[in-house]
Structure 1
Amino acid sequence: MERGLTAVEVAQRVAEGRTNDVPLRASRTVGEIVRANVFTRINAIFGVLFLIIVSTGYLLDGMFGLLILANSLVGMVQELRAKKTLDELSIVGQARPRVRRDGRAQELAPNEIVADDVIEMGPGDQIVVDGQVVAGEALEVDESLLTGESDPVVKQPGAVVLSGSFVVAGTGSYRATRVGREAYAAKLAEEASKFTLVNSELRNGINRILKFITYLLVPAGALSVYNQLSGDQALPEALRGMVAALVPMVPEGLILMTSIAFAVGVVRLGRRMCLVNELPAIEGLARVDVVCADKTGTLTENALRLAEVRVLGNGDGIAPGRALAALAASDPRPNASLAAIADAHPDSPGWTVEAVAPFSSARKWSGASFAGQGHWVLGAPDVLLPAEGPGSAERAEAETIGARGLRVLLLGWAELPVDGPGGPGRVEPVALVVLEQKVRPDAKDTLDYFAEQDVTVKVISGDNARSVGAVAAALDLPGAHAPVDARSLPEDAAELAGAVQGASVFGRVTPVQKRAMVGALHAGGHTVAMTGDGVNDVLALKDADIGVAMGSGSPATRSVAQIVLLDNRFATLPHVVAEGRRVIGNIERVSTLFLTKTVYSVLLAFLVGIPGLIGLDALPYPFLPRHVTITGWFTIGLPAFVLALAPNAERARPGFVGRVMRIAVPAGAVIAASCFVSYLLANPGKGAPPAEMVQASTAALVTLISMALWVLAAVARPYAWWKVALVAVMVVASALMFLTPLTRGLFLLDPTPAHTVTALTCAAVGVVVIQLAWWAERRFGRTASPAATPAAS
């Protein structure tokens, strides 16, 4: 056996820089976080507008420039907190290969490996650096992550193994030949654990909206400047009006709120020992309508207990217990079944091993050939024994036992060597090995939760179908009483889709079938989440919309999954779904606020500019930049920050952009029209003293803030005490701004009783019109559910 490197040799390689120095990338670096939050499209727009205001000398009107600082600082702080949590969790969940040094095997972090290290490997282990096989027994490596081919490749000593592949059967060791950034794992690890916000319906929808708004800024700004200058205003005043018109068109806090909501979601889930490799996975899991779960490790505990050894034959006179002890001792990396047998039969008979066939999910048996003791196999009775003829009675007995939810393996004596081309040949049944699996205490509550949320759960297992069905039936899973043996499933894609759609429990499923079943569900229009912990789940995890791996599962599954449950609790999934719904529902709410402001700002800019274009007296823009800033504070910014982080259990639905715009467009259009009417009624006309223009501007602002507060109150429904308090605080703060002498002077406000009554009347009429528009849209439009509009809450 290779002793591996000595401490001196390791130190020498470290000094030479021949280390696996790939940085752990659970998140963006600090520099990337700073650049991503500072150099944004919105900050660029506000930066230009802020410089324009500075050039006019009216620094107070540049208060919106604080949004640049807020957008950058809040985003950075939240993401740095999320980065810290993700980095800590990734260290907990990373693969720790066993490396031989000075003749001893020890677990090391991947970045502690150096060139020429000898690394042990067994079933489920991911190959973390490129290397050359030193030793191997029945070693099979799955390179599907590299080549796309799902068939495992047999590796003999001297063969090359590449990082990113994983062991599906057998044991062995390999010597590291390429480490660090030279190895394929460097790219794979960086991509698999990246802190990202891509491929999200929310983010994609918001980006489309921002792109459209950017195109509107140019004509709106040009019209505003033309209108202000044609009204005989000085250039500084015209620029102030233009900036006041453009600033509210940009939903400055929408990206910020989305990032915060996602980042806080990651932190919250991190406290539940849930590692989110990709942020959109939170949103994605909230949208799934089918969850495919394995039985072992998901509905039942991973650990097994040997309940009974039922003797069937003499096995050439050898006691079954001795054969079981020898099989357990022959495998240096036993699976859960062999580990349970080893616990019950710890004393090995000392048989000499001639050949080993480790367990693989494809053939569903393992075995060993012993010198002078024959060939022994342990595996699925319905695979090793025929349905008819000799052995069929023992097979039927095994199925009867398995129907009670127990795992049953056949101990058999084979006629051929286990590693031979025709092995194991005919199998003589010797004993039935009955193993008990403990149902997880929280499994039923989890299944009940998904049933209440109209999420279908399908149990897909490699175990006997009747055994899997018994466990699922005990948990009251619908359809569990009609389990399907996957060996009877059709290969035709269309027929397979129908079979998968119509059943809930599947047994004897191969890795390739798991992948095909996920594809069949996709073909049926479903959004699929797949849970798993074994190497046989990797292909299906890759193809599912959301892959969920157990923390105690193989490193290969953790590397391809978007979500890793480090506490191995299936019951954590409802919390992930709830967090996703909180993010989606809250972002939809705050998006309505931001986009309503965008709509009324764009329309108001055009309404004010049209008179000058058609030859009438040009109207100065009614608001100053400071007015726009304080309106955003009290009606959108502060309340949106609270609403974005609030609890929210609404069902996730597709069509985010269309649904939000069907609310924001009518509300924004009516607010723009009401403000314009209020402004016209209070406007004294061309040549009026500045004091009267301030009064007209104040009247328009009263209408604007009153209607915006009403939209806030509508969006905040359904009410809780804290939402009522939030709206009340914003109303009081807005009223004090008009009533307090200090703020009236600071923000250039002069409310008169007559103009205030006119303004509030326009606001009241506008509220009624908005409510009617929402009611009509709900009654005759395409809204998916009553909760889609504030009018229905």
Structure 2
Amino acid sequence: MTRPVAHRGLSAADVAARIARGEVNDVPVRSSRSTADIVRANVFTRFNAIIGVLFLIVLVVGPLQDGLFGFVIIANTAIGIVQELRAKKTLDSLAVIGETRPTVRRDGTAAPVATREIVLGDLIELGPGDKCVVDGEVAEADGLEIDESLLTGEADPVAKQPGDAVMSGSFVVAGGGAYTATKVGREAYAAQLAEEASRFTLVHSELRTGISLILKYVTWMMLPAAIGLVVGQLLVQGHDWREAVRRMVAGIVPMVPEGLVLLTSVAFAIGVVRLGRRKCLVQELPAIEGLARVDVVCLDKTGTLTEGGMDVSELRVLPDARTDETYVRQVLGALGEADPRPNASLRAIIDAYPDGTGWRCTQALPFSSARKYSGAALNSPDTGSATWLLGAPDVLLPAGHGALRETEQLNAQGLRVLLLARTERELGDPRVAEDVTPAALVVLEQRLRADAAETLRYFAEQDVAAKVISGDNAVSVGAVAGQLGLPGAQAPVDARRLPAERQGMAEELDRGTVFGRVTPRQKRDMVGALQSRGHTVAMTGDGVNDVLALKDADIGVSMGSGSEATRAVAQIVLLDNSFASLPSVVAEGRRVIGNITRVATLFLTKTAYSVLLAILVVCTRVPYPFLPRHLTLLSTLTIGVPAFFLALAPNKERARPHFVRRVMRYAVPAGLIAGAATFVTYLLARAHYGGEGALQAQTSAATLTLFLISLWVLAIIARPYTWWRVGLVLAMAAGFLLVLVTPFLQHFCALRLVGTVLPWTAVAVAAVAATALELTWRWVGRRFPA
């Protein structure tokens, strides 16, 4: 059966003329930030500015070794830029693979083109799941129904006829057709929204929001601390202004957890690169973090647990058919020919029964997930005209019909069953599916994904509840899930019996695992019901019926072969269509969150003891115990270097909420213990040492205590121990020991331990503080269990 082409579209000359006039859909497709944006974001930050100013001050007033922290910032910024550029390269290459290519008709020939190559007046073809990429006017409509909910919020699909307007950002839910582009580029209705939504972003995550909150408080603490330190060193201690400024800088610099922001960006960027190698396109970077927090994942059976393709395993002609199997085969073939964009079920029927030639389709009703059936008015040269429906038996047949019992038996084996039925009503009649005459059952065999069972086991081990939500028959879906070993699959739920109100639906969803005959609107309602119970919900899908649920879920995951609409609203696209990639995404998110929580504790412990030391110095009117070089050395060995390795290490710990609270509940008491112990050693050293060189000896003793305590904090954070974590802690200890025994490094870092009494006293104070740290760690663990 062939369909005449009513519109030929633009000619090659028309297209060339429009390109020359600039009438092209030139909205840039941006999967990532530009190189200039990446450099700007990593260089021009609040804390780079603060550290940069302090670095310049030290260059004026003191020796170069007191300005080492400035070079660390330069190195860290360079690392951040390099890692984000790597992530950008990965994202851009993946975006090209997964880029949408709408079908455009030119000179009577339809061919896919890049979205940016569409010109004003182009004729763009539409089918189920296609997204309208520019504004336009319908030129052809064959049962065309468009969902505009992403723009208007109205979930009901809108039937479109020739002459009706089409808005970019909407998508086709049923039927097909073509529309003429009337607005392209930035003039299109949703162009700005689409451009903004497609950008690579590092914002809007609990992790980064929490870090920003911490940094805001640190900023406010720095100014009074700086004033107090300068005044104290100048007026009370009588230092010259250069020494006073050096000591002030030494007190202020460690308050700034500048590396924490860098490591968060680097961890996310490396996560993107790692996932890119697995063909996972992360369209919104916080999705890595979000999926790690997920505790419920909603799966659509088709395309997720099963492969997209199906095979017809059997055709059962029913007694009521009053016809033979040969005729039924021809009807099925004609129905397949009548649909220009068949779904997976219809493609299997077309492959099995290519006998529809010679029939004429006078009217078609495309398949809709809400209706659960499709239809066509067919005219046969032998038997005349008749109207046929193909769809779900339990939707087309009344309860208790004999064919339903047969269907249930087949569904229980995990088979999908469609009913071919004849109707005496017109396709446009709302009651077309009533009082039909059943003709045959088409039995379809679904292909299970080889990796689905293992993936479901992974989610079970990680305490992530899997809910199978499908538009297919509940018994059939339950049988498929049961074959994959999903707990609870033996009690599938028919979604038509679910309560409409949210609380009742949420209770049923918590109890059940497999849900069948779910409408697109119900999928959306189910996501909302689960979220109302405090769940973080991920939704996977590949069909147009999944779009609304994908949009409302905390994390939407689409298959690369899915409809254009699903890929547009999903935060993560699995380009290789492998459901088995999801554990990698979850694991990557957990690695990022768990490790950043670890290293944040290191950074904020330093902030806490730096603030306490500044307060104690101002209140007791003693010289500040450290120079910038001392704290640069300590930060490098106990925070900077180990934090980089810890931030990128494997971590399967489940992500938990309240990032700031969880970090501060240990970092603050640990910082207070470290600061108090260091100040005690400093006061003891001031009483013990006198004469020339006393200040350096006092500082060295305090530095030893602070290093040992900071190393113990690192040892606690590095748990549970592995060989490389133990090696990392020991390497940092060896680095500090190397500084103490090497004359050049001693002089460069202004460290010299004098005698044996105070060095061993410093070790003893650190041991007492380490005991307090252990008790605090255990108390926090009991008081705030994971």
Q: TM-score, normalised by structure 2?
A: 0.96
- Could you tell me which of 288, 291, 301 is aligned with 1:282? 288
Which whole-Å CA distance do the structure 2 matches of 1:424 and 1:592 have between them? 63
Q: Does 1:587 align with 2:596?
A: yes
Would the aligned equivalents of 1:592 and 1:660 in 2 still touch at CA under 8 Å?
yes
Q: Does 1:258 align with 2:264?
A: yes
**Structure 1: tracts of 5 or more residues without a match:** 613-618, 786-793
Would the aligned equivalents of 1:703 and 1:760 in 2 still touch at CA under 8 Å?
yes
- In the TM superposition, structure 1's runs of 4+ consecutive aligned residues that sit over 6 Å from their partners are none
- The amino acid across from 2:373 in the alignment is W
Q: Which residue of 2 aligns with 1:167?
A: 172
Would the aligned equivalents of 2:255 and 2:608 in 1 still touch at CA under 8 Å?
yes
Q: Which residue of 2 aligns with 1:722?
A: 724
Which whole-Å CA distance do the structure 2 matches of 1:740 and 1:334 have between them? 77
Q: Which residue of 2 aligns with 1:462?
A: 471
Q: Which residue of 2 aligns with 1:789?
A: none
Q: Does 1:494 align with 2:503?
A: yes
Q: Does 1:89 align with 2:94?
A: yes
- The amino acid across from 1:373 in the alignment is S
- Could you tell me which of 693, 696, 703 is aligned with 1:694? 696
Which whole-Å CA distance do the structure 1 matches of 2:522 and 2:779 have between them? 49
Would the aligned equivalents of 2:138 and 2:161 in 1 still touch at CA under 8 Å?
yes
Q: Which residue of 1 aligns with 2:513?
A: 504
Q: Which residue of 1 aligns with 2:667?
A: 664
The CA deviation string for residues 703-745 of structure 1, in whole angstroms up to 9 with x for no partner, is 1111111211121111111112211211111111111011111
Please state how far the C-alpha of 1:424 moved relative to its aligned partner.
Answer: 4.1
Q: Which residue of 2 aligns with 1:334?
A: 342
Q: Which residue of 2 aligns with 1:237?
A: 243
- The amino acid across from 1:674 in the alignment is A
Which whole-Å CA distance do the structure 2 matches of 1:424 and 1:451 have between them? 41
Which whole-Å CA distance do the structure 1 matches of 2:520 and 2:476 have between them? 19
Q: Does 1:347 align with 2:355?
A: yes
Q: Does 1:736 align with 2:738?
A: yes
- The amino acid across from 2:389 in the alignment is V
- Could you tell me which of 208, 216, 222 is aligned with 1:211? 216
Would the aligned equivalents of 1:355 and 1:417 in 2 still touch at CA under 8 Å?
no
Would the aligned equivalents of 2:320 and 2:437 in 1 still touch at CA under 8 Å?
no
Which whole-Å CA distance do the structure 1 matches of 2:293 and 2:370 have between them? 32
Please state how far the C-alpha of 1:40 moved relative to its aligned partner.
Answer: 0.8
Would the aligned equivalents of 1:25 and 1:189 in 2 still touch at CA under 8 Å?
no
Would the aligned equivalents of 1:192 and 1:559 in 2 still touch at CA under 8 Å?
no
Report the secondary structure of 2:531's partner residue: helix
Q: Does 1:59 align with 2:71?
A: no
- Could you tell me which of 105, 126, 132 is aligned with 1:100? 105
Q: Does 1:645 align with 2:648?
A: yes
- Could you tell me which of 11, 25, 28 is aligned with 1:23? 28
Please state how far the C-alpha of 1:195 moved relative to its aligned partner.
Answer: 1.1
Report the secondary structure of 1:373's partner residue: strand
Which whole-Å CA distance do the structure 2 matches of 1:563 and 1:569 have between them? 12
Report the secondary structure of 2:329's partner residue: helix
Q: Which residue of 1 aligns with 2:528?
A: 519
- The amino acid across from 2:395 in the alignment is V
Q: Which residue of 2 aligns with 1:791?
A: none
**Structure 2: tracts of 5 or more residues without a match:** 1-5
The CA deviation string for residues 66-109 of structure 1, in whole angstroms up to 9 with x for no partner, is 13312321111111111111111112112111111122111111
Please state how far the C-alpha of 1:657 moved relative to its aligned partner.
Answer: 1.5
Q: TM-score, normalised by structure 1?
A: 0.96
Please state how far the C-alpha of 1:463 moved relative to its aligned partner.
Answer: 0.2
- The amino acid across from 1:658 in the alignment is R
Q: Which moved more, 1:769-778 or 1:638-647?
A: 769-778
Q: Which moved more, 1:179-188 or 1:568-577?
A: 179-188
Q: Does 1:605 align with 2:614?
A: yes
Would the aligned equivalents of 1:684 and 1:693 in 2 still touch at CA under 8 Å?
no
Would the aligned equivalents of 2:492 and 2:513 in 1 still touch at CA under 8 Å?
yes
- The amino acid across from 1:252 in the alignment is E
Report the secondary structure of 1:308's partner residue: strand
Would the aligned equivalents of 2:713 and 2:773 in 1 still touch at CA under 8 Å?
no
- Could you tell me which of 386, 392, 396 is aligned with 2:405? 396
- Could you tell me which of 297, 304, 313 is aligned with 1:307? 313
- The amino acid across from 1:489 in the alignment is L
Q: Which residue of 1 aligns with 2:709?
A: 707
Q: Which residue of 2 aligns with 1:3?
A: 8
Please state how far the C-alpha of 1:758 moved relative to its aligned partner.
Answer: 1.9
- The amino acid across from 2:39 in the alignment is V
Q: Does 1:572 align with 2:578?
A: no
Q: Which residue of 2 aligns with 1:360?
A: 368
Q: Which moved more, 1:479-488 or 1:1-10?
A: 1-10
Which whole-Å CA distance do the structure 2 matches of 1:468 and 1:695 have between them? 75
Structure 2 CA distance for partners of 1:690 and 1:320, relative to 1, 3 Å: farther
Please state how far the C-alpha of 1:199 moved relative to its aligned partner.
Answer: 2.3
Q: Which residue of 2 aligns with 1:790?
A: none
Please state how far the C-alpha of 1:749 moved relative to its aligned partner.
Answer: 1.6
Please state how far the C-alpha of 1:328 moved relative to its aligned partner.
Answer: 0.3
Which whole-Å CA distance do the structure 2 matches of 1:218 and 1:24 have between them? 43
Report the secondary structure of 1:753's partner residue: coil
Report the secondary structure of 2:444's partner residue: strand
Q: Which residue of 1 aligns with 2:229?
A: 224
The CA deviation string for residues 675-721 of structure 1, in whole angstroms up to 9 with x for no partner, is 111111111589x5451111111111111111111211121111111
Q: Which residue of 1 aligns with 2:304?
A: 298
The CA deviation string for residues 637-692 of structure 1, in whole angstroms up to 9 with x for no partner, is 01111111111111211222222112112211111111111111111589x54511
Q: Which moved more, 1:165-174 or 1:49-58?
A: 49-58
Q: Which residue of 1 aligns with 2:3?
A: none
Q: Which residue of 2 aligns with 1:788?
A: none
Structure 2 CA distance for partners of 1:518 and 1:327, relative to 1, 3 Å: same
- The amino acid across from 2:753 in the alignment is P
Would the aligned equivalents of 1:249 and 1:601 in 2 still touch at CA under 8 Å?
yes
Would the aligned equivalents of 2:367 and 2:374 in 1 still touch at CA under 8 Å?
yes
Aligned residues: 773
Would the aligned equivalents of 1:684 and 1:692 in 2 still touch at CA under 8 Å?
no
